[in-house]
Structure formats: structure tokens, C-alpha cells
Amino acid sequence: MSQALDEIKIGGLGSSRKRVEDNRFIRGRGNYTDDITLPGMLHMEILRSPLAHARIKSIDTSKAWEVPGVHLVLTGEMMATRNLAWMPTLSYDTQAVLATDKVRFQGQEVACVIADDPYVAKDACEKIDVEYEPLPAIVSPMQAVAEGAPVIRDDKEGQPDNVIYNWEVGDAEGTDRAFAQADVISKLKLHYPRSHPSPIECCGSIADFNRATSKLTVYMTTQAPHIIRAAVALVAELPEHMIRIISPDIGGGFGNKVPVYPGYVCSILASILLERPVKWIEDKSGNLISTGFARDVYLDGEMALRNDGKILAVRMHTDADHGAFFSDAQPSKFKIGLMHSTFACYDVPVGHLTARGMYTNKAPGGVAYRCSFRVTEAMFFQERMIQAAADDLGMDQAEFRRINLVKDDKFPHRTPFGFLLDSGQYGKCLQVGLEAADYQDFLRQKQEAKERGRLLGIGISTMTEPLGAGNSREYDILGIKMFDSAELKVHMTGKAIVRTGTRGQGQGHETTWAQIVAHELGIPAEDVVVEEGDTDTAPFGMGTYASRSTPVAGAAVAMVARKIRAKARRLAAHLLEVSEEDIEWELGRFYVRSARDRGVTIQECAMAAYSNMPDGMEPGLENTAYYDPPNLTWPFACYIVTVEVDPQTGVWDVLKMVAVDDCGVRINPMIVEGQIMGGLTEAYAMANMQFITFDADGNCVGSNYMDYLLPTAWETPGFELHSEVVTPCPHHPIGAKGIGECAAVGGPAAFVNAVLDALKDTGVRNIDMPLLPDRVWQAITYRRDVSGAPPVRSDD
């Protein structure tokens, strides 16, 4: 008779176990960087540039030094004496820590004051006198390459212009040949505006250099503590083993907390100079105006089509606005991230993609906000293009997708840009979505509404995205290969601790990593504690972003648990006095194959590992696994939105939104749903209300939460989620695929497509996000496309 445990009851795979971290979060007991106070701690504030582009003629700090309570005033000139005025970025560029020669964006860090309290430091910042000589500002890639444009990065030797890179992938000649065969060529041009990750908690750090031990401890808001440790070792030239990075609870990251920010570096130097802990907590406007932005790309593409609906080829060009420094993280050889994952879910025979990155006088941009290295832009363009192409062919948009989506029996599928897709049921996802949205009935309603002057629209977005970078053959950051790790220690009473190189920011890793251990070992999830974010205790890992935690670190957790199980099997054979070959496993228990009731639990094996090992066996039950994924994981999603647009005001309301996500095996279905709902909310916000742009002088417009709106439950529409399509990932040890960002990546196009579908009869092809009522109204009234690209008038 089987004595196997019930996996759901012990909180294993598929259990919607409540999030253990919420015990402290909902009680207000989280431990965020700003909650930490160290003895003798000082506070740092940053003086930022009011101008977007200007030469610095002089900086006079004398009055700031005179303010009682001020301990240190840092300028770029002082940083330069320590070779720290500039720092390397994660993309092989350099970035000013504190400006010396010029300021290159509004909000750039110019000086820092360290004082007894943050208010004194802030007041003293205002006493610093900076004389600027204004220079013309560049706020778009087009301006950056226009004749006579000032060279923004004149600090860089051999940088003749504002171009950072030119990159291409695909088959240019083959694409030309396919276009020559086309019956119809469909074209689309659009701007994906700057978006701000807007975590509730801004960035911050507390640097604590101890002269007596020579150890530097930094508590900070980073999604990738080990990468920061390496960066600090290189930038500050400190020995790596004397650096401890602790990333406590993080109040949202979304990619914002991957880059290295000047504030971190200044607080570290200040602590070394003053030999006291120095805390820097970024304020909201500092975060909104100067932190790593996302998107800001201009996309221009065309598609070669056959009259029967078959896609023959795609061509696409991206101009990316990186701001003043190329500082976001990219897997090294992909200059524009994974932009070339575009059209991956469609059977496109050939394609050619080019990309150009430019410097502008804006805060550094390009961070992957809830996005796997630019896939958001890629999927947005793809799905907008698919709808435009269907319209150009006069074909139903669902049918057009059905014809071109990769069929189930065509996996593994190689895309024209080199990715290998290993699994999926794209047609089924689409079908589930269409049925849930009552597609045919909605088309009928839409027609009826039109006859009465009402505008209804339906938008679809179907997409797969590459989650889980790397493998180490292709993916690295600054040459460091993108694998991940997990360490598992089973104590003698069968309780366990698992540590990973990732650092969650609200995703629920403390809950789900324990579920993977429960699934692999039968140790109840509640007996497994999860720890992340301390470089002195966690094994090396590349951190949490790009929804890579489950695909890479989650796999490492499964693999280390299997190593533990292998040793426990040898212990079980010893305890049961049979040979290992005679031992069988069922959840939580080994038993003798010929006598099922003779068995030992995993907990009994754990005790034996410390008290009754066979001769020659190393004591203890712990291990570490480093996992280098063979491929990315490819979840698939189908999002369908129906809207009604008011032709008098341009206001649009969501009638229904349906989401069908296939992320393979779901570890915790409730957490997965939470991830999807959060992502859809952000997608809705980007499509509908988030407006941050720049005027002709480079002033950041919309740099406050009155203009850049974060949706609350009040504004956010309801979402209907479907989980019936499950295609396990063939190479992941538990069949899981990433999910964290799918909805934020695929969602925006569904909303925009729906509004444009409602406006189809006007002939309008594009309205740039956000689809603010006045933009929609302009499109309806003047029957023309509406661009949102900067510069804007500052009173817009």
C-alpha cells in the first residue's frame, strides 16, 4: 500500500499556498533598506542638474560646508581624485557618477552632501552654487543624428557623433527576395514611449565601511546583489571577499533596481572617507526624473504578405533612445536586448532586423521594465503590425493569426532570427481566448453598435517571449555567464533552508522555492525556509529580472534537491539494510521494492546523515547546484480586450479583458494569477494613462504622480484569467516556464489594438501610447494618426 504524501497538502507543485512573505508584509514588518538604522549613521542627499545639457563653469560648495551638521560635500572633481568621477556601465559604456565637465540630462547627479540628517543634507545642497553654460538639448534619436547635432558624449575619445551602436540580424537578401514576391506589403511606424518602472520604494543604499576589519557592507535596493558586488570590486578597487552586499526586502523593482546608480557609489565613497555608515534614500521626484527608464524606441517595419494571408517576410528597424549613458543591462552580444524575438510565435520564413542606439539629453534609458531585455517593444510592434497586416489584407484578425501561428507539430521551431522554440499550443490558446471573449458575438454587437453611432472595438495580442536568460553559451553580462544557483541544507530533524542567487521583489520566491523542494523531497513546504539577497551567504547568482528566476534559479532548486535525494537514497539503503538498487522512491519516502511497507522517510534519512551514516560516507545533508539552462523558456499568451470609445470625448472603456497564459507547469497557481493581474494592470496603465515625455529644452514633462498615473483598483478593469492550456517546458526539470512579465509585455498591444479597431472606419493606423482621450479624440476628429514622440510643448 502506498504511503506517498499528498503533494498539494504538503505545499508542493500546484498548491496555491499562501505567500509566506506576506506574514511580514501585511503586518508592516517588512525590512526595507530605509528601515535599517546603524549606529553613527549619516545621511546623503544628491544635488541634481536643473538643465538637460550644459557646460559646468564652476561649482562653489563653500556655503554648504558651513551648514552645521554637514560632514562632507562631494563633487565630481573630488571623485576624480579617486578615479571615481566616471564608472563603467553594465553595457560597456561609461557613466558620470558626479558631473565634472558637463551635465547631460535634467536630474543628473552634480554633487552630494553628507550630514547628520537628510533635511540638513537637503538644505545644504541648496547652498551649492553651480554656474552652467546652457547647450542645445537633444531629446529624440532623430535630433541626435541630424546634421550639426552637438556631440553629447564628447568625453569619449573616438566618439564622433551620437550613435552608440548599429546592430543587425537576419537575412537581408532573402528578405528582399521575399518582398519582391509579395501580393501586399503592410507598413507601420510607431513610437513606444518612455515608461517608468515606478516601484513604490525608490532606490537607496546604506554603505558601512569598517576600517578595523576592512570590510564594506552595503545594504541596498538591488535585484542582483552578486553583480553589484563584482561592480563595486571593480569600480572601487576593493577586494571582493571584503564586500558584502545585502539586499533586504525590496518594495518593487521591475528592472529599475538592476543598474548601478551614482547614489550607491557616492554613499560607498562617503562611508570609506568618513568611516561611518552613510544612508542614501532617493526621493520620488529623483526616482521619476533620473532613474533608469524603459522603452523609448521608434519602430518602423513592413511585412510581405500573400493574398491568402500567409506572412512571407518581415523587415524592421529600431531607433533606440538610450539617454546620456548606455547603462542598462544587455546580454553582451545583443545590443538591443532580445528585440529579435519579435514575430517568434509566427511561422515567418525570413526576416531582417536592424537597430541603432543613440545618445540623447535624457536620463539613461533602456532598462527592461518588467521585460526580458526589450521584448516588450518587440512584442508590441509585432502585435500592432499583425493587426495592421490583417486589416490591409481585409482579413479577420483572429483568422490571420490562426494561419500564421506556429503549429503544435512544428516544434522545435527555429525563428528567422535564430531562436529555438521548443513547445507550445498557440492555436489552442487563441481558441480558448476567442471563446471566452465570445468573439463572433462581439463582432455582431460591434456591427449593430456602429449602426447606432457607437464605436466598439476588439483587440488581440498573441505572443511568446524568451524568458530565463541564459544559457551561458549565448548570454552574459560584462562577460559573466548567465547561469544561476541554489544551495540546500537539510538539518538533522528534516527541516531545511534553501538559498539562491536570485532576489525577489514581491514575486513570492520564499513561497515557491520551498514548494519545489517539497515536490522533489516530500519535505513539507512549511519546513523549508528560503533566503535570498546576501552575498556572504547565498551562492553566486545573476539576480532576478527578465522573469529568469523560475527558469534558471527555480531549476537549480530542483536540481540541488535531486542531489540531496541521491544521497538520502544511499542513507535509506543503509538504514533498510538493502542495496541501493533495491530502493524505490515515492514522495517523501524510500521503500524496499519487494516490501513496500518497509521504508524510511526523508526526515529519517536526514537524521541518519548526522547520526548513523554508512562507513566512508561524508556526514551532513547539504549541497549546491549551479544551473546553466540549455535554452530559454517560451511561455505563450493570448490577451483579448473589448472596448467602447466615446467619439465625443475620446474616452475609452474596457468592456472585457480575457487572458489565457500558458507558462508550463504552475508551481503556485495563485501566485501566477497574481503575476498576470499585476502585469495586465501595468499594461493597461501604459496603454491608457502613463505620460512622461520631454520638451524641446529637455525638461522632463510628467515627472510627478499627478501626470504619470499609477492605476489603482478604481481605474483598473476586471480581468478574466484562463489556465487550462499547459505545455510543460521540455528542458526545465519541473516543466515550468517564466511568467512574471508576460502580461506587461503582451498586454499593451491588446488595449491599443482594441481602440484602433473601434476607429477602423476613420482610416487611422496608429495612435502612440498613452491613448489619452485627447489623442483619441484628435484621431477621430481629424482622421489622422497621432504621434506622441517628443519634443512636446511643456504645456501639453
Least Cβ distance, residue 161 to ligand CDP (angstroms): 37
Choice among 48, 295, 356, 370 that is catalytic:
370
Least Cβ distance, residue 129 to ligand CDP (angstroms): 44
Choice among 282, 510, 532, 741 that is catalytic:
741
Least Cβ distance, residue 664 to ligand CDP (angstroms): 5
Please, are residues 689 and 770 in contact by the beta-carbon 8 Å criterion?
yes
Residues 6+ apart with CB under 8 A from 321: 140, 141, 144, 194, 296, 297, 298, 358, 360, 362, 365
The number of residues in the chain equals 796
> Quick one: 243 exposed, middle or buried, by C-beta within 10 A (0-12, 13-18, 19+)?
buried
- In terms of CB distance, is 340 or 509 closer to ligand CDP? 509
Least Cβ distance, residue 683 to ligand CDP (angstroms): 16
Is 223 an active-site residue? yes
Whole-angstrom distance, CA of residue 383 vs CA of residue 377: 10
- Which grid coordinates are listed for 31? 525590512
- Which grid coordinates are listed for 350? 525570413
* CA count, 13 A, side-chain hemisphere, 729: 34
- In terms of CB distance, is 528 or 667 closer to ligand CDP? 667
Whole-angstrom distance, CA of residue 63 vs CA of residue 602: 68
Among 297, 300, 353, 373, residue whose Cα is nearest residue 167:
353
Cα distances (angstroms) measured from residue 692 to each of 294, 375, 525, 790: 11, 21, 43, 10
Reading across the β-sheet that carries 484-490, which strands appear in turn? 528-532, 496-500, 484-490, 622-627
Whole-angstrom distance, CA of residue 737 vs CA of residue 217: 35
**φ, ψ at 299 (rounded to 5°):** -120, 135
- Which grid coordinates are listed for 632? 530559454
Among 121, 95, 120, residue whose Cα is nearest residue 108:
95
- In terms of CB distance, is 204 or 554 closer to ligand CDP? 554
Least Cβ distance, residue 590 to ligand CDP (angstroms): 28
- In terms of CB distance, is 257 or 315 closer to ligand CDP? 257
First-last CA distance in the chain: 74
Choice among 223, 330, 397, 425 that is catalytic:
223
- In terms of CB distance, is 43 or 519 closer to ligand CDP? 519
Whole-angstrom distance, CA of residue 113 vs CA of residue 395: 62
Q: Collapsing DSSP states into helix, strand and coil, what is residue 592?
A: strand
How many CB atoms lie under 10 A from the CB of residue 89?
A: 19
Choice among 371, 429, 605, 700 that is catalytic:
371
- In terms of CB distance, is 44 or 518 closer to ligand CDP? 518
Least Cβ distance, residue 479 to ligand CDP (angstroms): 22
Cα distances (angstroms) measured from residue 601 to each of 567, 569, 587, 608, 618: 13, 10, 9, 11, 20
Among 365, 360, 384, 294, residue whose Cα is nearest residue 690:
294
- Which grid coordinates are listed for 119? 533635511
- In terms of CB distance, is 499 or 666 closer to ligand CDP? 666
- In terms of CB distance, is 386 or 734 closer to ligand CDP? 734
Least Cβ distance, residue 568 to ligand CDP (angstroms): 24
- In terms of CB distance, is 250 or 390 closer to ligand CDP? 250
- In terms of CB distance, is 729 or 767 closer to ligand CDP? 729
Among 215, 783, 195, 303, residue whose Cα is nearest residue 535:
215
Q: Give the binding site for ligand CDP (CB under 6 A).
A: 504, 507-509, 512, 544, 547-550, 554, 663-668, 671-672, 675, 736-740
The dihedral over CA atoms of 637, 638, 641, 642, expressed in degrees to the nearest 10, equals -170
- Which grid coordinates are listed for 653? 472603456
Is 499 an active-site residue? no
Least Cβ distance, residue 681 to ligand CDP (angstroms): 15
Helix axis angle for 225-235 and 262-274, nearest 10°, is 60
Provide the H-helix boundaries in 394-487.
397-404, 426-437, 439-451
**Position of minimal CB gap to ligand CDP:** 740
Helix axis angle for 397-404 and 426-437, nearest 10°, is 160
Whole-angstrom distance, CA of residue 39 vs CA of residue 246: 17
Reading across the β-sheet that carries 54-60, which strands appear in turn? 102-103, 54-60, 129-134
CA torsion through residues 756, 759, 765, 771, sign = negative
Least Cβ distance, residue 355 to ligand CDP (angstroms): 25
- In terms of CB distance, is 89 or 223 closer to ligand CDP? 223
Is 371 an active-site residue? yes
- In terms of CB distance, is 44 or 663 closer to ligand CDP? 663
Whole-angstrom distance, CA of residue 191 vs CA of residue 620: 57
Please, are residues 336 and 355 in contact by the beta-carbon 8 Å criterion?
yes
| Catalytic machinery residues | 223, 370-371, 741
